[in-house]
Amino acid sequence: MGDRAQDPVARATGLSDAALAGDRRALARLLTAVENRTPVAEAALRRLYPLAGRAHLVGITGPPGAGKSTLVASLIAEVRRAGRSVAVIAVDPSSPITGGALLGDRVRMQAYAGDRDVFIRSMAARGHAGGLASTSGAAAAVLDAAGFDLILVETVGTGQSEVEVAATADTTVVLEAPEMGDEIQAIKAGLLEVADLVVVNKGDRPGAQRTASQLRAMLVATPPRNDAHDRPQPKRPDVLVTTASTGEGVPELLAALDAHRIGDRGGTTWSARVARAEAQVGAIIADRLRERLAAPGRSAATRDIYDAVARHELDPFAAADRLLAAMSEDGARPPGATG
């Protein structure tokens, strides 16, 4: 409790050093700071970010009910059998506003409570729009610096922000299940565009192989993901079938992830890393500008401008121009002096 009064940089240094030395409680506290975008998080990330960049960040997304949590649990077991370490960031859709309870499935992961090479963290899908990919990216950098070899980021793939989180991972796995409804089928088409690997889970259900065939056919018709025009065209994603509840197909999935990690350097992996960098930098810029607009002496004028827009007395473009002019004046001051 007393350490809350401590200087953020000193506290960040203490927590970072402890986390790097293997202190999981310090690591958990750092991640809480990252999630809340506190000054401690900024100081810690400035310190830890240069130590990161070695881990393999894998995004796992798919519609509700596809079995993401079960597959993640099954992947953890497989990774541990190979003697490797794994961290999980589960972006929790249960509460977009206040955060909220863990999903019931997470309880299964309690099995690894005593294993130092497994670290599981739920993260609420909250905060400023666009902040989700930034926050999960920053959390991944902390876990990466702390030495985790494989980092899984799990999101529900039915939201723009949530899909962005998975799409900015080094390797993006899109999970599907056989026999899903019409609306979910439609969502699927969008998800396929961000996939490096497609997995049909619940492979023991009738129709799983047929779903896999349909997906392969859809992928032929879907333009492959390629943001970087000057890079080679990536190959179309493979479609695997797993039964996460029994572990069937999971060793093959891990092998496919490892193959993508090695084989795709310079392809979608590099594009995703640049996109992740942009998301993080963009969110920090947005935070800084918000701080400037909310600074003492400025916040009342900012509020008046938003109120005038809400009353339709001022159009949003005129409002943006006024605020940009105000921020440019503030920009004369050194960065960081505006909070």
Give whichever of 104 and 206 is closer to a second copy, judged by the CB atom. 104
Which residue type is seen at 165?
A: V
Which lies closer to a second copy via its Cβ, residue 14 or residue 282? 282
Phi-psi region of 135 (alpha: psi -120 to 50; beta: other; left: phi over 0): alpha
Minimum distance, C-beta of residue 121 to a second copy, in the bound complex (Å): 17
Q: Which is nearer to a second copy, 5 or 221 (CB)?
A: 221
State the minimum distance, in angstroms, from the CB of residue 327 to a second copy: 7
Closest separation in Å from C-beta 225 to a second copy: 8
Q: Based on CB atoms, which residue is closest to a second copy, 29 or 188?
A: 188
Closest to 34 measured CA to CA, from 20, 48, 22, 23: 48
Smallest gap from Cβ 86 to a second copy, in A, equals: 21
Which residue number, 154 or 254, has a Cβ lying nearer to a second copy? 154
- Please identify, using beta-carbon distances, which residue of 92 and 264 lies nearer to a second copy: 92
Residue 84: Cβ-neighbour burial (10 angstroms; 0-12, 13-18, 19+)? middle
Closest CB 115 distance from a second copy, rounded Å: 25
Nearer to a second copy, 151 or 191 (CB): 191
Looking from the CA of 88 toward its CB, the CA atoms found within 13 Å total 29
Distance CA 17, CA 14 (A): 5
What is the distance, to the nearest Å, from the Cα of residue 327 to the centroid of all Cα atoms in its chain?
Answer: 30
Smallest gap from Cβ 295 to a second copy, in A, equals 14
Please answer whether residues 176 and 63 qualify as being in contact, where contact means their C-beta atoms are separated by less than 8 angstroms. yes
Report the first-to-last Cα separation within the chain, whole angstroms.
24
Report DSSP state, residue 225. Answer: P
Instruction: Give the β-pairing of 150-156 and 86-92.
Output: parallel
- 187 is written with which tokens? 């969502």
Question: Nearest distance from residue 236's CB to a second copy, in Å?
Answer: 15
Q: How far is the CB of 3 from a second copy (least distance, A)?
A: 22
Identify the three-state secondary structure at position 57: strand
Least spacing, CB of residue 83 vs a second copy, in Å = 26
Calculated CA dihedral for residues 327, 333, 337, 339, nearest 10 degrees? -10
Task: Give which of 282, 325, 283, 285 is closest to 305, Cα–Cα.
Answer: 325
1 or 325: CB nearest a second copy: 325
The residues, any chain, with a CB within 8 Å of residue 306's CB and separated by 6 or more, are 319
Q: How far is CA 180 from the centre of its chain?
A: 25
Degrees (nearest 5) of the Cα angle 143, 132, 197?
Answer: 70
Is the Cβ of residue 4 or residue 311 nearer to a second copy in the bound state? 311
